[in-house]
Structure 1
């Protein structure tokens, strides 16, 4: 099992280098996506290095994956918001508290969700905005968007320095839960997926732009296996209760 990845094909790289792509083309197939398109996206940093993604729930609350907190010290964690680069720009704020779901287990990633409480509030602007939680999981076939700074191909072991995004189709939620567990949803990964260092990042429904999933795990980054995401609708009550208890 591995952290999730964004897939960007060599063909897409060459095409983007040859001409300036239109905004929608920078997303489809795994292209650079400006932060103003996904202002809820943050980078989770450990001692200043990107380890995971996250989503802005409020000015002091970030949602991410529980496995992003394995083997790290809270004192070393911060988030960067409002920048397409994980290493510079925007706003960097220290993490005060990190709460993983009590049923999370590192071995097979059940209940892979966590809440981060920031030391100080983010300042909202065009590049820093919260995202609403979905009230209902979309049906299979619905188009979604996943974004992050992860590897651009399976086994690359190199997180991308500039934010990438890709459209993926949601698989039938009932089938996904039957095969992967009640707490997750799945998205098509036929050459389009999230990958290592995208963990904790947002899966967003389109066109309403609500948070429906949190990047959790998968196999081979888009090669023969679906991407697996924590189901935000399943965890809504836990998110709300945990936030109320800790802020």
Structure 2
């Protein structure tokens, strides 16, 4: 068995081995995405899916206006046509706890990528999708407001999404599990910058990119709990205000003991305010 840690953006795996050897642990291996979200909860969540006759789950997004969905830039890279437009194989679903059924499918018209998006160092990993028509708001489909506060450590937060709910452990080797049908939710706390850097260096053996304090924020629950493939683009929400403070961006392995890293909403404020203003009624 090859001994290599999987480094991943939470939308796509950038390196792959069949398993990742890990030290012994007494955690429950079936929890990464937390628990099934209550029916109708997190009504701002959008499931990004792709395909034609058969659909596959890609990423999460959040509804920030009736025309705009906020997600991670790396989620869109494979769906940008040569001429710069958005491929029609990318779709979105709102108003459902399931990514593959229920709710309403919303057609997408275009996108805005953060002008400083750096795919090499995974910085400014933010993008906004534009819908063809305004989204109809209901008790199951709602907007989320964004906070431009600078958040540090020990802030209670939650993330909802449809990322993989593994890992499964087999003779001390980690294997990713399939994407869940039902939206998951995980409650945790933010980390201060120094602690995030420390934990990331230890977990990745100093291989991971540095965390950039002004544009990124970290969370950590415990080993065996955290984000995984398919959670990219989902909203990091502050419990005290119910506002979005981050976007799931990248991590080192899936809940393998490293922090999860998010785009800080404050760090992309200018981009968001400019883009939102383009579509104000």
Alignment TM-score, normalising by the size of structure 2:
0.75
1:168-187 aligned at under 5 Å gives the runs 168-173=188-193, 176=196, 179-181=210-212, 182-187=214-219
Per-residue CA deviations over 1:13-47 (Å, capped at 9, x if unaligned) read xxxxxxxxxxxxxxx98110035220111101122
In the alignment, which residue of structure 1 is the partner of 2:45? 41
Equivalent of 1:95, from 108, 120, 124?
A: 108
In structure 1, distance between residues paired with 2:69 and 2:33? 27
Equivalent of 1:68, from 66, 75, 79?
A: 75
Per-residue CA deviations over 1:154-213 (Å, capped at 9, x if unaligned) read 441521111000012100146658940131100014132111001000110012110001
Counterpart check, 1:201 vs 2:261: no
Higher helix share: 1
In structure 2, distance between residues paired with 1:189 and 1:32? 17
User: How far has the Cα of 1:64 moved from its partner?
Assistant: 0.1
Alignment TM-score, normalising by the size of structure 1:
0.85
Question: Could you tell me whether the CA contact under 8 Å between 2:215 and 2:264 is conserved in 1?
Answer: yes
SS of residue in 1 equivalent to 2:245: strand
In the alignment, which residue of structure 2 is the partner of 1:142? 155
In the alignment, which residue of structure 2 is the partner of 1:3? 9
In the alignment, which residue of structure 1 is the partner of 2:59? 52
In the alignment, which residue of structure 2 is the partner of 1:20? none
Counterpart check, 1:211 vs 2:211: no
Cα root mean square deviation, aligned: 2.3
Stretch moving more, 145-154 or 99-108: 99-108
- Runs of 4+ aligned structure 1 residues displaced above 6 Å come to none
Question: Could you tell me whether the CA contact under 8 Å between 1:9 and 1:152 is conserved in 2?
Answer: no
Q: 1:130 to 1:174 in 2, by over 3 A?
A: farther
Q: Which runs of 5 or more residues in structure 2 are unaligned? A: 1-6, 12-26, 81-85, 168-174, 199-209
In structure 2, distance between residues paired with 1:95 and 1:9? 39
In structure 1, distance between residues paired with 2:60 and 2:176? 18
Question: Could you tell me whether the CA contact under 8 Å between 2:34 and 2:186 is conserved in 1?
Answer: yes
Equivalent of 2:126, from 102, 109, 113?
A: 113
